[in-house]
Amino acid sequence: MDITVEKQGNLLLARVAQDRIDAACAIQFKDRMREISLEGQGRVVLDLSQVTFIDSSGLGAVVAVRKALGGERPLELLGLTPTVQKVFRLTRMDSIFTLHDRWDDGLQDAV
């Protein structure tokens, strides 16, 4: 699973560098995010701007990552594309996650 990680102060920015998070790669996604989460202790921002398709298995994997991080370390999502947004809206997960349209200074400073 191709996810790059960048440290921005206390924050970890994880960029999914492939266009799908589906049933075929949901486990690999969770495993890679587990590795990434060990690289810091602060917030984790997951950049989904390159992801054009997610199914309910992919969504479940994102939820699992959020739960694994625990209540003290929020998982925030960045740059949802229209199809991904639709899945979050239909499952009402858009009311659970903090969503950011784009990376900006406010996001970085609000550590």
Enumerate binding residues for another protein (CB under 8 A): 20, 22-25, 53, 55-57, 59-61, 63-64, 66-67, 82-83, 86-87, 90-93, 95-96
* Cβ-based nearer residue to another protein, 19 or 109: 19
17 versus 90: smaller Cβ distance to another protein: 90
Q: How far is the CB of 23 from another protein (least distance, A)?
A: 4
Which residues, 6 or more positions from 37, have their beta carbon under 8 angstroms from its beta carbon? 12, 44, 65, 68, 69, 73
**Least distance (Å) between residue 26 CB and another protein:** 8
Considering the complex, what minimum distance in angstroms separates the CB of residue 109 from another protein? 28
Maximum distance among all Cα pairs of the chain, rounded to whole angstroms: 36
Q: Return the bridge partners of 15, or none.
A: 4, 47
d(CA 82, CA 51): 10
CB nearer to another protein: pick between 12 and 75? 75
| Distance (Å, whole) CA 6 – CA 26 | 22
